[in-house]
Amino acid sequence: MQKPVNYCDSFASHQFDMSDSVKDFDLPWTWLDEGLRQLREQQLLRERRTVETLPGGRCRVDGHEFWNFAGNDYLGLAGDERVRSAAMDAIQKSGAGSRASALVTGRTPWHNALETRLAEIKHAESALLFPTGYAANVGTLTALMGADDVVFCDRLNHASLIDGCRLSGAKFRVYPHRDVDRLQQLLERETVGRRRFIVTDSLFSMDGTQAPLRELAEVADRFEAILIVDEAHATGIYGDHGTGLLEANRVALSRVVSVGTLSKAIGSQGGFITGPRRLIDWLWNSARTQMFSTALSPACCAAALAAIDLIEQEPERRTWLRETWQLVIQELRGQGWTVPEAVDGPIIPVIVETSERVLQLNDELRQHGVFVAAIRPPTVPRNTARLRVSLSYDHGQAGIDALLRAMHSARSPNM
Ligand SMILES: Cc1ncc(COP(=O)(O)O)c(C=O)c1O
């Protein structure tokens, strides 16, 4: 009988001579050094930090505590006791993971209940879950579009939309941010493709601006195009029922594919699509990012179900958030910071242009106990580096006061 391989032993013996193994492991990768050096030189090298989440909108990074203004938990639901206990109950009943892709045996009663609930709140015939919002965008765009199609994309769309458009092989046309006139011109010019798609974020993730959804829907109708709207950052926040900007703008849904994430205001993890049944049936059978990936854990689904109930039952969370972002935007402008005119949401970009300056400010704010994301190219266009201040219901008045004090000190360091 053949002796089984002992991988632990073979790994140990391989590592026996450390100087040799370092040489072996390093050699094939030296070609990456130049790229990393360039990133460092341009102040674009990303740090890998470990962040502990603390209650009340705070976090601990490298042993120091901060107000966390760099997350997307806008309604403070990720740590809510009721959301956590729903997740724990699902783990007790079903275990930690889903064990298979949804297509095989990973679609549990929690997945079924969540898809039903998402379809209901979005007034759609059906819904489909994906492992992440990124996967929802890439999987949907590549399943719907091909080389014979043309896709029109807002210049500031999220990377997952851009990646999906590119991977689909469709002819790719970019229109300036929120510029519906320019989009129409492009549509008038592109008459030959099989189908036309317009793709947009609803609340832009790095800019805090809103897409002109009513106008985009009218244009889509007129040109018989399909409108794909990524509601990642708007879900839970806008509209009378908190389902997003499509609801707030009362956009008719016949030509619209709505994408959402569970990972922002819903406080869990995962992505979803809502739409007509035949669209969902098609994606179930052809969106590779959900077909060939393990289904969400039941705990994520249970947490999302509990959070969706809370979004409905506690509208005061989004009311507080709206009133607070309006006040913070006004205060920051009053302090002399550049917050673009069209910003209208819990994501507040403070434009400072250079990567060097944004890193410096980020450091100063940390010294004042406030953690804010420093966003640099390629996440945003060159010369538009920014602090991305994101607000959460968890911050409460104490957090907002701390933010405004820190921003004031960073603006006028000698005062
Ligand atoms: C607009 C937008 N769409 C999609 C995603 C991806 O969502 P997820 O984090 O659930 O993968 C993000 C993530 O930040 C986003 O900002």
Q: What is the pLDDT of residue 21?
A: 59
Interatomic CA distance for residues 414 and 391, integer angstroms: 27
**CA-only gyration radius of the chain, Å:** 23
Percentage of residues in the chain with pLDDT exceeding 70? 93
Q: Quick check: helix, strand or coil at residue 168?
A: helix
Give 279's contacts (C-beta < 8 A, 6+ positions apart): 126, 257, 273
Q: Ligand 1, residue 204: give the atom nearest the CA.
A: 1
Q: Which pLDDT band holds residue 20 (cuts at 50, 70, 90)?
A: low
Inside any domain, residue 17: no
Predicted pLDDT at 19 = 57
Q: What is the Cα–Cα distance from 255 to 354, expressed in whole angstroms?
A: 40
Last residue of a domain, one of 274, 289, 313: 313
Q: How far is the CA of 401 from the centre of ligand 1 (A)?
A: 28
Residue 377, pLDDT score: 87
- Which residues constitute the domain of residue 64? 51-72+315-411
Report the CATH number that the domain containing residue 108 is assigned in CATH: 3.40.640.10
Q: Which of 134, 257, 379, 388 to mutate to test the pocket of ligand 1 (most atoms within 8 A of CB)?
A: 134
Within a domain: residue 45? no
114 and 139, same domain (yes or no): yes
Question: Which of 413, 404, 351 lies closest to 380 in space, CA to CA?
Answer: 351
E strands, 63-156, where? 64-69, 126-130, 150-154
- What does the pLDDT look like over 351-374, one tens digit per residue? 998 889 999 999 999 999 999 999
Give the amino acid at 214.
R
Query: Best substitution site from 158, 161, 200 to test ligand 1's pocket, by max atoms within 8 Å of Cβ?
Result: 158
Q: Enumerate residues 6+ apart whose C-beta is below 8 A from 10.
A: none
Examine the pLDDT at 326 and tell me if it is beyond 80: yes
How far is the centre of ligand 1, averaged over its atoms, from the C-alpha of 135 (Å)?
9
Prediction pTM value: 0.92
107 and 57 both lie in a single domain: no
| Domain annotation covers residue 46 | no
The answer as to whether 199 is a domain residue is: yes
The CA 405 to ligand 1 mean position distance, Å, reads 30
Ligand 1 nearest atom to the CA of residue 206, by list position? 16
Q: Which atom of ligand 1 is nearest to the CA of 261?
A: 10
CATH number of the domain within which 372 lies? 3.90.1150.10
Question: pLDDT for 181-197, tens place per residue?
Answer: 999 999 999 988 899 99
Considering the domain architecture, whether residues 166 and 109 belong to the same structural domain is answered as: yes
Residues 248 and 355 in one domain: no
Contact 383, 353 (CB under 8 A): yes
Mode of pairing for the β-strands spanning 64-69 and 58-61: antiparallel
Q: How many domains, the chain?
A: 2
Residue 210 lies in a domain: yes
One domain for residues 179 and 292 = yes
For ligand 1, atom 9, which residue shows the shortest CA distance? Answer: 133
CA-to-CA distance for 296 and 102, rounded, in angstroms? 8
**What pLDDT does 14 receive?**
47
Q: Are residues 215 and 93 in the same domain?
A: yes
pLDDT at 2 over 90: no
Question: Which helix (H) or strand (E) covers residue 221, if one does?
Answer: helix 213-222
Per-position DSSP letters for 288-319, written without gaps between them: HHHHTSBPPPHHHHHHHHHHHHHHHH-THHHH
What tens digit of pLDDT does each residue of 385-404 get? 999 999 999 999 999 999 99
- Quote the crossing angle between the two packed helices 81-94 and 298-313, to the nearest 10°: 150
Are 181 and 204 in contact by the 8 Å Cβ rule? The answer is no
Q: Mark whether 375 and 394 lie in a shared domain.
A: yes
| Mean pLDDT computed over 219-237 | 97
Per-residue pLDDT tens over the stretch 150-160: 999 999 999 99
Q: Report the separation in Å between the CA atom of 414 and the middle of ligand 1, taken as the mean of its atom positions.
A: 39
Residues 319 and 346 in one domain: yes
Distance from residue 205's CA to the centre of ligand 1 (Å): 8
Query: Which residue's alpha carbon is at the smallest distance from atom 10 of ligand 1?
Result: 133
Q: At 164, is the secondary structure helix, strand, or coil?
A: helix
Task: Report d(CA 289, CA 136) in Å as an integer.
Answer: 7
296-318 per-position pLDDT tens digit: 999 999 999 999 999 999 999 99
11 alpha carbon – ligand 1 mean position (Å): 38
Angle at 141 between CA 135 and CA 142, to 5 degrees: 90
Assigned domain for 36 exists:
no
User: Is 23 inside any structural domain?
Assistant: no
Ligand 1 binding pocket, CB closer than 6 Å: 132-134, 137, 158, 160, 201, 205, 230, 232-233, 261, 263, 271
End position of a domain, from candidates 288, 313, 338: 313
Is the predicted pLDDT of residue 7 greater than 50, yes or no? no
Average pLDDT of the chain, as a whole number: 93
**Measured in angstroms, how far is the CA atom of residue 134 from the centroid of ligand 1?**
5
Element (H, E) at 98: none
- Final residue of a structural domain among 255, 290, 313: 313
